[in-house]
Amino acid sequence: MSSAKRILLIIGGGIAAYKCLELIRRLRDRGHSVRVVMTKAAHHFVTPLSVGALTNERVLTDLFDLDDEREIGHIRLARDHDLILAAPATADLLARMAGGHADDLATAVLLATDKPVLVAPAMNPAMWLNPATQRNVAQLEADGIRFVGPAVGEMAERGEAGPGRLVEVPELIDAVETALTSETETQTTGDLAGRHVIVTSGPTHEPIDPVRYLANRSSGKQGFELAAAARQLGARVTLITGPVSLSPPQGVDVVRVKTAAEMLEAVQAALPADIAVFAAAVADWRIETPHVEKIKKGEGAPTLRLTENPDILKTVAQAGPTRPRLVIGFAAETEDVLGYAKKKLKSKRADWIIANDVSPATGIMGGENNTVHVVTVGAVESWPEMSKAKVARKIMLRAAEHLHAKRTAAE
């Protein structure tokens, strides 16, 4: 971001609150001003003294503090900032937001604001996956609240793992600046307004028997970020996703599938489209005849006959009249990344291939960042490592420019 913004940070009562100290420092390093509201529970994890030392501002905690209400007031707090960030957002805070509560300073500000709100959830995986929390998240997304995370990984509690970690500070920074950018730029430019964008995301699960399947190690994060970026640029977006534990971007039509065959059927049903981005890690093979009952261990290793799955990218890229004007494929490789990407560009008849190295040493597969090469006919553009959100936005801006150039040339 080139210009400083005013950010109100609401710190919730979770163990991940300690990350907010680094977040404040990094935001101020970028020139942004930060004011902080702490919930009562947040005091158990970080102190107002340490937070205030980093913000160089008084930390606000009490809705009924006479001095604060006379000098600042929760309504002014709600209106005098460019963005409100709630991090960590606990299950309780999400529930009170969804219910429209205003019984403390944090929820009163959130209810009174007319500014964009970004929420970074953090809680135990069982709490995140609980139907009550998922209902609250769905309601907040319908109300226009943006989400970043949660990340998947080990929890503070020993032996607990899954979705529920607060995303790391670099991803929080990227999400803040993306939200600020979308407010100041994309609403006025509408680069993809009137366009239909299809994005595929996540893995596919090809059944072996009722409890086992073949799959790829895909988190779906890049595809979800692509869908969010296209929506922020004004497009109508259809996100076709395999099994993932991510919250869908606001305002996006989501179609959930399991197998490659289901994904192809969903893509064909969503056509026509102006842009199709195939970011899903589709399983290349499936079991020719899945077992009806669970295969029992101890009865000898089963013989599994594999057959190739349909090639979704190639099928759509050669679809004739229904072919999107811009077809973008992804190539995740562990060796000779550019060589295989160039071959894929030609064999699939795609317009672009977004290639990345997913060998174990890179940490890319399932990670928060990505390093990609944009391969087109006769050209390769290599981008530095950046967050998946920034990769997605850059891709969609390039796609918008491409369509604009084609329209201009046709005129």
List active site positions: 216
Q: DSSP string spanning 265-319?
A: HHHHHH---SEEEE--B--SEEESS--SSPPPTTS-PPP--EEEPP-HHHHHHT-
> Amino acid identity, residue 19?
K
Residue 101 CA to residue 110 CA, distance in Å, equals 9
- Give the residue from 356, 261, 247, 355 showing the smallest Cα distance to 308: 261
- Terminal alpha carbon distance of the chain: 35
Find out whether 278 and 241 touch, Cβ atoms under 8 Å: no
Q: DSSP string spanning 359-398?
A: SGGG--TTSSEE-EEEEETTEEEE---EEHHHHHHHHHHH
Backbone dihedral region for residue 334 (phi beyond 0: left; psi -120 to 50: alpha; all else: beta): alpha
Find out whether 35 and 8 touch, Cβ atoms under 8 Å: yes
111: Cβ contacts below 8 Å, ≥ 6 apart: 78, 97, 100, 101, 102
DSSP state of 15: G
Q: Exposed, middle or buried: residue 300 (CB in 10 Å: 0-12, 13-18, 19+)?
A: exposed
- Give the residue from 276, 386, 389 showing the smallest Cα distance to 325: 276
What is the token pair recorded at 316? 């759509």
Q: Which residue has the tokens 């509560």?
A: 101
What is the token pair recorded at 89? 């957002």
Residue 237 CA to residue 198 CA, distance in Å, equals 6
Residue 104 CA to residue 107 CA, distance in Å, equals 6
